[in-house]
Amino acid sequence: MPIYSRTITVKGDIESAFNFVADFRNLDQWDTASTAELITNEPIREGSIFKAKTSFNDREMIINYEVIEWGAPLRASLKADTKNFTLIDTIFLSANSRGTELTYTVNVKYKGIFMIVGLFFGPIWTKLMNTQIKNLEAVLGPA
């Protein structure tokens, strides 16, 4: 199961960073190939579901992300399950002397034939993660 992870330090407090990143309705501000809407009732908590429209490897997809962990303002995990893969996006936050340290991790579990084909997607995932982290840092403000 490939794991992609990046850590940045941003200015501002943990709660503001958490509220922005963990609420996937803000996804389009740091993942320009995606939009998402909350399809369950507020407040956001374990069991909440976001419907995301995204593009991966030039393929349009609609993916439902379910909040499987909601430890505001320090940690949240969202899970997307498709026929070809399962994704678990996890956000960790902590304070440091320069601001808020944000770690974003994506675990990818391929299914079926994608257990073999998926091995070739590593560079695409890496590029996507690098772009998203760069965008998050720009939006939240580098420390």
Q: In the structure encoding, which two tokens stand for residue 106, read together?
A: 């994506």
Please give the average per-residue pLDDT across 22-49, as a whole number. 96
pLDDT, residue 116, reads: 74
Check pLDDT > 70 for residue 143: yes
> How many C-beta atoms surround the C-beta of residue 90 within 10 A?
18
End-to-end, the C-alpha distance of the chain in Å comes to: 32
Rounded to the nearest 5°, which phi and psi values hold at 61?
A: -140, 150
Check pLDDT > 90 for residue 128: no
Task: Please list the alpha-helical segments (H only) found in the chain.
Answer: 14-22, 114-117, 122-140
Q: Please state, rounded to an integer, the average pLDDT across all residues of the chain.
A: 92
* Percent of the chain's residues with pLDDT above 90: 75
Q: Give the DSSP letter of residue 142.
A: B
Q: Report how far residue 55's alpha carbon sits from residue 103's, in angstroms, rounded to the nearest whole number.
A: 23
Check pLDDT > 80 for residue 105: yes
Any idea which of 13-17, 81-85, 86-90, 116-120 has the lowest mean pLDDT?
Answer: 116-120
Q: Report how far residue 33's alpha carbon sits from residue 24's, in angstroms, rounded to the nearest whole number.
A: 13
Angle, nearest 10°, between helix axes 14-22 and 122-140?
130
Q: Report the domain count for the chain.
A: 1
Supply the CATH number for residue 120's domain. Answer: 3.30.530.20
Structure confidence at residue 122 as a pLDDT band (50, 70, 90): confident
Query: Chain-centre distance of CA 104, in angstroms?
Result: 7
Which structural domain range is residue 94 located in?
Answer: 3-140
Check pLDDT > 80 for residue 118: no
pLDDT tens for each residue of 38-82: 999 999 999 999 999 998 767 899 999 999 999 999 999 999 999
> Residues 21, 75: contact at Cβ < 8 Å?
no
pLDDT, residue 4, reads: 92
pLDDT, residue 57, reads: 67
